Amino acid sequence: MIVILNDNDQVSLPTGTKTVAGVRPSGALSDYTSRLMSSRPGIMAQGGTLFEELGFYYVGPIDGHKLDTLVPVLENVRDMPGNKPVLIHVKTEKGKGYPPAEASLDKYHGVARFDVGTRKQHKSVSQTPSYTSVFSKALIAEAEHDRKVVAITAAMPGGTGLNIFGERFLKRCHDVGIAEQPAVTMAGGMACEGYKPFCCIYSTFLQRGYDQLIHDVSIQKLPVRFILDRAGLVGNDGPTHHGSFDLAYIGCIPNMIIMAPSDECELQNMVATSLAINDSPSVVRYPRGVGVGLDVINQKLGHAIAIGKGRIIRNKAPSPKEGSVAILSLGTRLLESVKAAEALEANTIPVTVKGSEGSGACDCLSVEAR
Alpha carbon distance 46, 172 (integer Å): 37
Please tell me which residue in 208, 221, 314, 316 is annotated as part of the active site: 208
Asked if 93 is an active-site residue, the reply is no
Alpha carbon distance 176, 182 (integer Å): 7
Task: Please state the separation of Cα 204 from the chain's center in Å.
Answer: 7
Please tell me which residue in 142, 180, 266, 357 is annotated as part of the active site: 180
* H/E element, 52: helix 48-53
Q: Judge contact between 229 and 160, C-beta under 8 A.
A: yes
Please tell me which residue in 24, 94, 119, 314 is annotated as part of the active site: 94
Tell the burial category of 339 from Cβ atoms under 10 Å away from its Cβ (0-12, 13-18, 19+). exposed
Q: Which of 335, 270, 281, 329 is nearest to 303 (CA)?
A: 270
Tell the burial category of 61 from Cβ atoms under 10 Å away from its Cβ (0-12, 13-18, 19+). middle
In this structure, which amino acid lies at residue 178? I
Sheet with strand 173-175: strands edge to edge: 173-175, 149-153, 196-202, 225-229, 282-285, 257-259
Q: Judge contact between 26 and 186, C-beta under 8 A.
A: yes
Asked if 52 is an active-site residue, the reply is no
- DSSP designation for 43: G
Asked if 102 is an active-site residue, the reply is no
String of DSSP letters for 128-142: SPBHHHHHHHHHHHH
Active site amino acids = 94, 180, 208
